Amino acid sequence: MYEKPHQSSTYIIHTSLLFNSRTLKFDTDQSITVNPKTGRIVSVTPTPPNLSHVSYPDLDLRGCTVLPGFVDAHAHVFVHPYTETPALNQERDESLTERVLRAGNNAKAGLKAGFTTYRDLGTEGAFNADIGVRDAISRGIIPGPRLFVATEALASTGGYEIRHENKIGGTSVPRLSDVCDGVDGVKMGVRRRLGAGADVIKFYAEYRRRTLRFPQPAWPGSQSIRYPPYATGGGNAILSSMNPPSTLFDQEEMNAIVQTAKRAKCPVASHASSPEAVIMASNAGVTSIEHGSLPSEESLKAMKKNDTIYVPTLCVADIELDDKEFRKAILGHARKANEMGIRLATGGDTGESAHGNNVRELELFLEAGISLEDTLRAATLGGWEACGGDWCGYRSGWVGEGWQADLVVLGGDLREDQGALRRVEMVIKDGNVVVDGGFIIE
């Protein structure tokens, strides 16, 4: 069992296989000196060839695969799988207390899975409660990944809200978004989020705004539309649904969101799937496109031209799509993005996909045909870039001098056995061992 090193001392971690997220190579026999007081890496040097016995507080991780701590670039720490409890019931019926306690459990599960950073893109009805969870983790009150949070997402009037049909008589439900309209309105929206403490601005470039036009049955005994409208999306599973997405903001509004956020050195994440929304958000200069699922050459070209980071959230397609061909097309779209040199980050829309199963997104990258090295880059350095890179206030996602000492240690040689992604032997965050042998060290 690991004992915490004295807080004022540095210690050395000896490795035989260390992933370098910049060169995309596995370096052999490297020793990492870390300072658990500053949380940073002091140096990375070749391991002495005659090193045999390693004694406390140094760590001997030879024989394992050591990587920068994983980043989940699209998570929702307040959400658990919709297969357990539909989104509507989580947002409307679970108490804020339950949701916050669940967030604590979810944070632990993510940390155990090797994720030392979460970019958390919206509380989904829990107001600004992510701020408190982030700070509780940062203060050492509860264990968890370092959170970069969006608080509430921005959407325009009638765009992203809890859909319920009984709107008469003062029925009240939590709001799902901070509503803002017009250039001045969206600037105020961004400023409200920054003032609340957001690390990243999330906005909905599009959503199913007209979902109450043909409402889905949403409670026991409610009925389906008997004669549904004709499909209009050219056979596309999303666009042909009864409630296809439509853009929520004009180009000028998206531009204003991005400009206001960037003036405060804050990254912007945009929910968008259709080519129209992806292109508008990318042209506005967002940091990242979330989902972007509808295969489109034009979407990819826009992201390439604007150097937009793409977070394809393949877990969503994996969970939601019965249509095998469409699922394959979405995975192929992500592979194509990688081939075109678009920067990627891995994020499973975690929450809908269970916390603790975060690595599923990496597995889907591999299934899509993205190389192991490119996948690992997306899961480390790519995630840090999506958090805003140097704007985020920390350097993480690479093992080098001055960078945050976040490491995940996998059993065996990952190059030979990708199953090692699920064999997390140890997690080090800010230079401290936080998970050892599957147990959280508090």
Applying CB under 5 A, what is the total number of residues that bind Zn ion?
A: 1
- Smaller CB separation from Zn ion, 37 or 163: 163
Shortest distance, position 125 Cβ to Zn ion, whole Å: 13
- Smaller CB separation from Zn ion, 91 or 349: 349
Cα R_g (the chain), whole angstroms: 22
Amino acid present at 249 = F
Shortest distance, position 385 Cβ to Zn ion, whole Å: 18
- Smaller CB separation from Zn ion, 78 or 394: 78
Shortest distance, position 292 Cβ to Zn ion, whole Å: 12
- The strand pair at 201-204 and 268-272 is best described as parallel
- Smaller CB separation from Zn ion, 61 or 77: 77
Shortest distance, position 149 Cβ to Zn ion, whole Å: 13
80, 355 contact by CB (below 8 A): yes
- Smaller CB separation from Zn ion, 352 or 425: 352
Shortest distance, position 47 Cβ to Zn ion, whole Å: 41
The rounded distance, in Å, linking the Cα atoms of 337 and 408 is 27
Q: How many CB atoms lie within 10 A of CB 304?
A: 16
The rounded distance, in Å, linking the Cα atoms of 98 and 367 is 36
Peptide bond connecting 275 to the previous residue in cis, omega within 30 degrees of 0: no
Tokens, residue 179 = 């509503």
**Residue 385, interface with Zn ion (CB under 5 A)?**
no
Which one of 14-22, 204-212, 343-351, 366-374 is the stretch in contact with Zn ion (CB under 5 A)? 343-351
Strands (E), 69-219: 70-75, 115-120, 146-149, 153-155, 177-179, 201-204, 206-207
Tokens, residue 279 = 């292109």
Which one of 19-27, 106-114, 341-349, 370-378 is the stretch in contact with Zn ion (CB under 5 A)? 341-349
The rounded distance, in Å, linking the Cα atoms of 374 and 377 is 5
- Smaller CB separation from Zn ion, 352 or 430: 352
List the one residue from 161, 199, 349, 406 that touches Zn ion (CB under 5 A): 349
- Residue 384 sits at φ, ψ, to 5 deg, of -65, -40
Shortest distance, position 204 Cβ to Zn ion, whole Å: 10
**Maximum Cα–Cα distance for the chain, whole Å?**
78
Q: Which of residues 18-57 bind Zn ion (CB under 5 A)?
A: none
260, 154 contact by CB (below 8 A): no
Closest residue to Zn ion in the complex (CB): 349
Which one of 53-61, 150-158, 347-355, 424-432 is the stretch in contact with Zn ion (CB under 5 A)? 347-355
The rounded distance, in Å, linking the Cα atoms of 77 and 122 is 9
- Smaller CB separation from Zn ion, 109 or 176: 176
Q: How many CB atoms lie within 10 A of CB 38?
A: 14
- Smaller CB separation from Zn ion, 10 or 288: 288
- Smaller CB separation from Zn ion, 315 or 359: 315
Which one of 234-242, 331-339, 344-352, 375-383 is the stretch in contact with Zn ion (CB under 5 A)? 344-352
The rounded distance, in Å, linking the Cα atoms of 259 and 262 is 5
Shortest distance, position 352 Cβ to Zn ion, whole Å: 7
**Which residue has tokens 């809890």?**
162
Q: Which of residues 79-118 bind Zn ion (CB under 5 A)?
A: none
302 burial level (CB within 10 Å; 0-12, 13-18, 19+):
buried
Binding mask 290-329 for Zn ion (x = CB under 5 A): ----------------------------------------
Shortest distance, position 273 Cβ to Zn ion, whole Å: 12
Shortest distance, position 121 Cβ to Zn ion, whole Å: 5
Using CB under 5 A, list all residues that contact Zn ion. Answer: 349
